[in-house]
Amino acid sequence: MSIVILGKNGQVGSALQHSFVSTDVVALDRSQFDITSKLAVQQLFTQYSPQIIINATAYTAVDKAENEIDLANLVNREGVAMLADACAANKVLLVHYSTDYVFDGEKEGFYSELDLVNPQSVYGSSKWLGEEAVRASGCDYLIFRTSWVYSLTGNNFPKAIMKKLLQGQELRVVDDQFGAPTSADLIAAVTFKCVQKLRDDINLCGLYNLTAKGVVSWFGFAQQMIQVLQAEGQAQDWMGLIEAVSSNDYKSIAVRPKNSCLSLSKIEQKFGLEMPLWQKDVEIFMKEFKEQRDAT
């Protein structure tokens, strides 16, 4: 089984390399494979003869995208379309990732895979168009919609919080956007399990929500991290460092959904999985973050 992972230096791309170890796997970074290059897409198939391609590349700079519309669409829509069309022509399974930002966040309750999308940002729209391109290509695919991704790689919310807290800096954190923090390790581990199952049953192809279980605001997320620090016996007044603010008081360039909660019923039922609560992976992340910091 020949598997190619694209975007190997990203959060999910890095984690995928730990989950897909025992198989015939090649992982490529942007210098080895640029998804916006037609030639690179063609060469991918002649050079590696893959049976499965896992696309972890993406333009993910949500605020910057509002001013880089063409680039966001080039990577997230046109590049994905070229890749998906080539997967269809070569009968290759495409695994692709999308986002909660395809929704406007106005729904009460969890979004299922059947809910209508209404992206409010350039990034969200470009990712939705990428999804549509995969579906239109006719290739066999798994699309995983995920949310609030973090890992030791890259820039993300819990890394920023850890850095600031450990430096004793005060923080303002949004308390009216809700979702499920999801570790890149979880995404990679679940991707591996789903790909294995799909080998026995190609009918499992399709769109799935893939996040950790549970719901929290960004502020609640930061509070949980503080509780973990306090449980370790650290005496500082961490809670005094964070202030809850509304989205209106914490202006960002791109609009973010207030409700990013994705229903996990489909992935759990179809693949026989039980997704873990988000708190579990956050604790692991914090432990690893401190180990990495102490080692440098």
Ligand X SMILES: NC(=O)c1ccc[n+]([C@@H]2O[C@H](COP(=O)([O-])OP(=O)(O)OC[C@H]3O[C@@H](n4cnc5c(N)ncnc54)[C@H](OP(=O)(O)O)[C@@H]3O)[C@@H](O)[C@H]2O)c1
- Chain residues binding ligand X by CB under 6 A are 7, 9-13, 30, 33-36, 56-60, 75, 97, 99, 127, 146-149, 154
CB of 23 to ligand X, least distance (A): 20
The least CB distance from residue 209 to ligand X, in Å, is: 11
User: What is the sign of the dihedral through the CA atoms of 123, 124, 129 and 132?
Assistant: positive
Give the residue among 211, 204, 198 at the shortest CA–CA distance from 264: 211
Active site residue 123: yes
Question: Of 97, 123, 141, 208, which is the active-site residue?
Answer: 123
Name the residue nearer to ligand X (CB basis): 54 or 238: 54
Cα-Cα-Cα-Cα torsion 159, 161, 164, 166, nearest 10 degrees, comes to -80
Q: In the complex, what is the shortest distance from the CB of residue 97 to ligand X, in angstroms, rounded to a whole number?
A: 4
For residue 288, the minimal CB distance to ligand X (Å) is 17
Residue nearest to ligand X (CB): 10
Q: Could you give phi then psi for residue 57, rounded to 5 degrees?
A: -80, 150
Shortest Å, Cβ 239 to ligand X: 25
Whether the CB-CB separation of 157 and 218 falls below 8 Å is answered with yes
Q: How far apart are CA 275 and CA 268, in angstroms?
A: 7
3-state secondary structure of 138: coil
Alpha carbon distance 191, 182 (integer Å):
13
Q: Which is nearer to ligand X, 56 or 162 (CB)?
A: 56
Angstrom CA distances, 167 to 212, 221, 287, stand at 29, 18, 17
Which of 56, 165 has the CB closer to ligand X? 56
Nearer to ligand X, 98 or 224 (CB): 98
Complex with ligand X: residue 175 or 185, whichever CB lies closer? 185
- Find the helix or strand (DSSP H, E) in which 52 lies: strand 52-55
Provide φ and ψ at 207, rounded to 5°: -100, 130
Catalytic site positions: 123
